[in-house]
Amino acid sequence: MTPVLSVRNLSRSFGAIRAVDDVSFDLAPGELLALIGPNGAGKSTCFNMLMGQLRPSAGKVLLKGQEITGMRPRRIWRMGVGRTFQITATYASMTVVENVQMALISHYRRIYAPLPYATRLYRDEAMDLLETVGMEDQADRHCAVLAYGDLKRLELATALAHDPFLLLMDEPTAGMAPRERIGLMQLTADILNSKGISVLFTEHDMDVVFAHAHRVMVLNRGQLIANGPVEEIRADPRVQEVYLGGGTVFAAQAAGAHDA
Amino acid sequence: MGLFIAQLLTGLANAGALFMVASGLSLIFGVTRVVNFAHGSFYMLGAYVGYTLMQVLPGAVGFWGAILLAGLIVGLIGIIVEICVLRPVYSAPELFQLVATFGVILVIQDLTLMIWGPTDLLGPRAPGLKGVVRIMGEPVPQYDIALIVITPFVALALWYLIARTRVGTLVRAATQDREMVGALGVNQAWLFTGVFFLGCALAGLGGALQLPKGGADLLMDFSILASVFVVVVIGGMGSLPGAYLAAVIISVLNVFGVTYLPQSTLVLMFVVMVIVLMVRPFGLLGREEVAGEHGQVGEPERPIRPAGTGVRLLVAFLLALLASVPLLGSNFYNVLITDILIFCLFAASLHFLLGQGGLVSFGHAAFFGGGAYVAALLVTYAGTPMELALLLAPLGAGLAAIVIGWVCLRSTGVYFAMLTLAFGQLLWSLAFQWGDITGGDDGLVNIWPSDWASDNVVFFYLALVLCVGGILLLRHAAHAPFGYALRAARDSARQAEATGINTRHVQWVAFTFAGTMAGLAGGLFVFSKGSVFPNELEIARSFDALIVVFLGGVKTLSGGWVGGAFFESVKDVLTRFEYWRLALGLLIIFVVIVAPDGIVGSLRKLGERLGWLRGERELR
């Protein structure tokens, strides 16, 4: 079966820094793939290249076998890829349901439709989407007054608006309280399983990753150092070194102290 | 060769004052995020104060002392303005403060007129520097040489202050993140005041320094404002070396322009600015603006709702009332309200761009005046009937907006605003200097409506239908998917682009649409007045609309036309008095302070507090 997403030798440099260095992987249909790594490992850079926000310095991104490298985000979205952001991006001057309606209006290509009132277009469909994330009772609230967890859920509903087959989620639970995190991730996993959507997500919370991911990739200093099922990753000494520290720093300090 | 060098030196000398004013503006903007329209006024004050001091203080010491004192005094006046006018409105929505500074311009203009009178003052020459130096046979005033020497020292001192001292570190830190500086325990209020003092003192110094060359007159404030904005933008907002570089480029180019291509003088610097911004969207030495997604000050805008039955009935009633104005039988009111209607459409078109799109245009008069000129030229040269001209005026303005929008939308924020200003100025100078076609300063006259509409009452109804129609159309566009997409692009361009919306295209269409509507207003204007002059394309005209939109309330749907109606009426009353600018300026400052949400926004809040309107709280 063709992978949903194939990444080949993807690299990106900022000046002399190689933020993402020769990364390659595949994402199978229906798979929930996590991309983890310490701060500054290059996860967000990698994501931004997949979704077209950033041009890669080298390498290729293939969507169902079709090359999408360097395409604009809006074109990639039209091909059936949704995304959520690490820091939520919503329309603060609209109501909750209007946020979702906006994505639907764009999906049905009605942005330049002269006659209708936007607030009445696709409202029912938007309400259904809000219901899937459990926000239907907040539909007519002003988006600017929402709690952060609700914004995350709203963003998820928006990302599902065009019925994507692939979802890219950059830290879906960042900035949330622990209990909320587990709830949101469970909700996300349920929705994705029921709709058969493939997902690539980055995450800091290991509980979330190990509970839901089918497979885990570990990025460190721009390079992919491990790639495999959850148990394998848990046991991988290099991953443990990255996350727990290999004692090299202290060893060096001790050595330095010794010399002096 | 000698002439060339002499001109180069003149250009360098002229750069001095320009640099000082521009660096002051740049500093103030960098730290306080206030676009200080009144900066030219402080420059003018510097010249007048310096003049008076030079009359009192004797000799060379007196001359240079007067210049320094003028800077100091203007700086102190700046402090007064900052504390009284700007402090109360720092928390108001972004750019709202520029309205207050516009009020300050008007006040200072009339106060200067009161104190120093309307006659232009000839600056005294610098003692000991009255002669000329001959360089390769060409005379160069000694004072020019002095200026060329002084300016780098001022620049260096300023650089030292900003780059090497503790205060400078605070200023630079505040430029990058003022919230953080506040959190670290720096008293922001006094930092802002201090920077305002420094900026205004620099402007005053510039004004006093140029006295022996240019003297003092009441038009100085606006005439330097445009160049100063250009210099700041070309150099890059907040960059001192950039401001110096740009001041030199602009001044030298101007001197050569006057000699070799006199027709170009009015547009030259704007052309340079457009070219620079096309290549470097943030100026020569500027850095990308980080404001925007995190820079929104004040409370977020509320969701909009299509009008309910009650509001529709109210509007219908008001329209009926408006339509019965001719029953009064007063020709004066017919004409006055026609004017107001036209201005309301103009303001509403800018409001659409600003309110829905977050696109602050400083040059919207380009389309108002553009539409007016299209109609006037068609009538004058092709004998076009009014009906056709009224159709072609908005189309012409819309075409101009397509081109101008394409260039301007490559930049964002203040740079976008400056580009629109540049294009407005370009069209203005075209109308002003291409006398054979446009009549230049004399304008185009004898453009009257068709016979059937020549009666004031009939024309009133024509204007009523077209203007109200236009305003309703703009309002509908705000509720249509297009208006929502425009707001989406403003609220979060990131999300909009990631959900298939081509934000630049949406903004471009909006820019064109707003330009078209302004063009319609311009077309109507010509036939109502019977003539058009270049001042319909002026910066001041653009500012009129801008001020009115802000005062009406940017974050409301009806702020544009309400502000337009209110201020056009007030102006009609006030202009009958001698010092109407003073009164209008004070009124603007007053409204800014008591109603920081604009007239409509503040009325809405009042209504909610009194329980007359369904409030935001019920939505929570």
Domain spans in chain A, listed from the N-terminal domain onward:
29-54+68-80+166-260, 90-163
Are residues A93 and B300, on separate chains, in Cβ contact within 8 Å? yes
For residue A155, which residues of chain B lie inside 8 Å, CB to CB?
495
Compute the mean pLDDT over every residue in chain A, rounded to the nearest whole number: 87
- What per-residue confidence (pLDDT) applies to B23? 92
Q: Which of the four pLDDT bands, split at 50, 70 and 90, describes residue B206?
A: very high
- What per-residue confidence (pLDDT) applies to B294? 35
Question: Cβ neighbours of residue B529 under 8 Å, at least 6 residues apart?
Answer: none
Give per-residue pLDDT as tens, B18-39: 999 999 998 888 888 788 889 9
For residue B500, which residues of chain A lie inside 8 Å, CB to CB?
74, 77-78, 103, 106-107, 162
For residue A121, which residues of chain B lie inside 8 Å, CB to CB?
481
- What per-residue confidence (pLDDT) applies to B585? 92
- State phi, psi for B210 to the nearest 5 degrees: -85, 0
Q: CA-CA distance, B235 to B249, in Å (whole number)?
A: 10
Are residues A89 and B509, on separate chains, in Cβ contact within 8 Å? no
Place of tokens 């209708």: A116
Handedness of CA B233, B235, B238, B240 (dihedral sign): negative
Cβ atoms of residues B233 and B100 within 8 Å: no
For residue A141, which residues of chain B lie inside 8 Å, CB to CB?
619-620
Cβ atoms of residues B225 and B24 within 8 Å: no
Q: For testing the chain A interface, which of B499, B508, B512, B614 should be mutated: the one with the most A CBs within 10 Å?
A: B499
Cβ atoms of residues B531 and B445 within 8 Å: yes
- Beta strand A58-63 pairing with A66-67: antiparallel
Q: For testing the chain A interface, which of B495, B555, B617 should be mutated: the one with the most A CBs within 10 Å?
A: B495
What's the whole-number mean pLDDT along residues B558-562?
A: 89
- What per-residue confidence (pLDDT) applies to B94? 61
Strand order, beta sheet including A81-84 = A81-84, A166-170, A198-202, A32-36, A215-220, A223-228
Place of tokens 């009132």: A117
Q: Which of the four pLDDT bands, split at 50, 70 and 90, describes residue B620?
A: very low
User: pTM of the prediction?
Assistant: 0.89
Cβ atoms of residues A56 and A7 within 8 Å: no
Assign 3-state DSSP to chain A and report helix, strand, coil percentages, each to 5.
40, 25, 35
Are residues A94 and B303, on separate chains, in Cβ contact within 8 Å? yes
Q: Which of the four pLDDT bands, split at 50, 70 and 90, describes residue B366?
A: very high
Give per-residue pLDDT as tens, A153-174: 999 999 999 999 999 998 888 8
Distance from CA of B293 to the nearest CA of A (A): 9
**Residue closest to B304 by CA, chosen among B601, B502, B610, B94:** B601
Report residue B565 as tokens: 């109606």
- What per-residue confidence (pLDDT) applies to A234? 85
Cβ atoms of residues B373 and B400 within 8 Å: no
| Most distant CA atoms of chain B, gap in Å | 81
Residues making up chain B, counted from first to last: 620
Report residue A227 as tokens: 């790639």
Give per-residue pLDDT as tens, B330-342: 888 999 999 999 9
What's the whole-number mean pLDDT along residues B253-270?
A: 81
Report residue B548 as tokens: 């009115």
- What per-residue confidence (pLDDT) applies to B136? 79
What's the whole-number mean pLDDT along residues B9-25?
A: 90
- What per-residue confidence (pLDDT) applies to B291? 46
Q: Which of the four pLDDT bands, split at 50, 70 and 90, describes residue A253?
A: low
Q: For testing the chain A interface, which of B302, B484, B486, B608 should be mutated: the one with the most A CBs within 10 Å?
A: B484
Are residues A106 and B501, on separate chains, in Cβ contact within 8 Å? yes
Separation of CA B464 from chain center: 28
What's the whole-number mean pLDDT along residues B486-510?
A: 93
Q: CA-CA distance, B232 to B22, in Å (whole number)?
A: 6
In a 13 Å sphere around the CA of B606, the CA atoms on its Cβ side amount to 10
Report residue A193 as tokens: 């399983």
Are residues A116 and B482, on separate chains, in Cβ contact within 8 Å? no
Q: For testing the chain B interface, which of A44, A51, A102, A121 should be mutated: the one with the most B CBs within 10 Å?
A: A102
Handedness of CA B294, B295, B298, B299 (dihedral sign): negative
DSSP character at residue B300 = P
Of B485, B487, B500, which is closest to A93 when you measure between CB atoms?
B487
Distance from CA of A82 to the nearest CA of B (A): 8
What's the whole-number mean pLDDT along residues B28-57?
A: 90
Give per-residue pLDDT as tens, B581-611: 999 999 989 988 888 888 888 888 888 888 7
Are residues B481 and A118, on separate chains, in Cβ contact within 8 Å? yes
- Stated as kind and residue range, the H or E segment containing A6 is strand A5-14
Cβ atoms of residues A134 and A187 within 8 Å: yes
Are residues A105 and B491, on separate chains, in Cβ contact within 8 Å? no
Q: CA-CA distance, B575 to B544, in Å (whole number)?
A: 15
Place of tokens 């102006």: B571
**Residue closest to B91 by CA, chosen among B592, B591, B564:** B592
Compute the mean pLDDT over every residue in chain B, rounded to the nearest whole number: 88
- What per-residue confidence (pLDDT) applies to B295? 39
For residue B616, which residues of chain A lie inside 8 Å, CB to CB?
142
Homologous superfamily (CATH) for A29-54+68-80+166-260 = P-loop containing nucleotide triphosphate hydrolases (3.40.50.300)
- What per-residue confidence (pLDDT) applies to A246? 59
For residue B299, which residues of chain A lie inside 8 Å, CB to CB?
144
Of B302, B306, B497, which is closest to A119 when you measure between CB atoms?
B306
**Core vs surface per residue B133-163: b (16+ CB within 10 A) or e:** eeeeebebbbbbbbbbebbeebbeebbeebe
Give per-residue pLDDT as tens, B82-139: 999 988 888 776 677 888 898 999 999 999 999 999 999 988 888 888 888 887 778 8
Handedness of CA B597, B598, B602, B605 (dihedral sign): negative
For residue B300, which residues of chain A lie inside 8 Å, CB to CB?
92-93, 142, 144
Distance from CA of B480 to the nearest CA of A (A): 5
- What per-residue confidence (pLDDT) applies to A40? 82
Distance from CA of B546 to the nearest CA of A (A): 22
Q: Which of the four pLDDT bands, split at 50, 70 and 90, describes residue A257?
A: low
Are residues A94 and B491, on separate chains, in Cβ contact within 8 Å? yes
End-to-end CA distance of chain B: 74
- What per-residue confidence (pLDDT) applies to A254? 54
Q: CA-CA distance, B4 to B252, in Å (whole number)?
A: 11
What's the whole-number mean pLDDT along residues A76-93?
A: 91
- Stated as kind and residue range, the H or E segment containing A63 is strand A58-63
Give per-residue pLDDT as tens, A4-38: 999 999 999 988 888 898 999 999 998 999 998 88
- B183 has a pLDDT exceeding 80: yes
**Residue closest to B409 by CA, chosen among B399, B419, B397, B424:** B419
- What per-residue confidence (pLDDT) applies to B58? 83
Give per-residue pLDDT as tens, B440-487: 888 898 888 888 888 889 999 999 999 999 999 999 999 999 999 999
Are residues A74 and B495, on separate chains, in Cβ contact within 8 Å? no
Q: What separation in angstroms does the CA of B224 have from each of B154, B229, B545?
A: 20, 9, 21
- What per-residue confidence (pLDDT) applies to A5? 93
- What per-residue confidence (pLDDT) applies to B370? 95
Q: For testing the chain B interface, which of A93, A101, A117, A137 should be mutated: the one with the most B CBs within 10 Å?
A: A93
Are residues A74 and B497, on separate chains, in Cβ contact within 8 Å? yes
- What per-residue confidence (pLDDT) applies to B292? 41
Give per-residue pLDDT as tens, B370-429: 999 999 999 999 988 999 999 999 999 999 999 999 999 988 887 888 889 888 988 988
Distance from CA of B608 to the nearest CA of A (A): 17
Which of A133-137, B341-345, B357-361, B430-434 holds the top average pLDDT?
Answer: B341-345
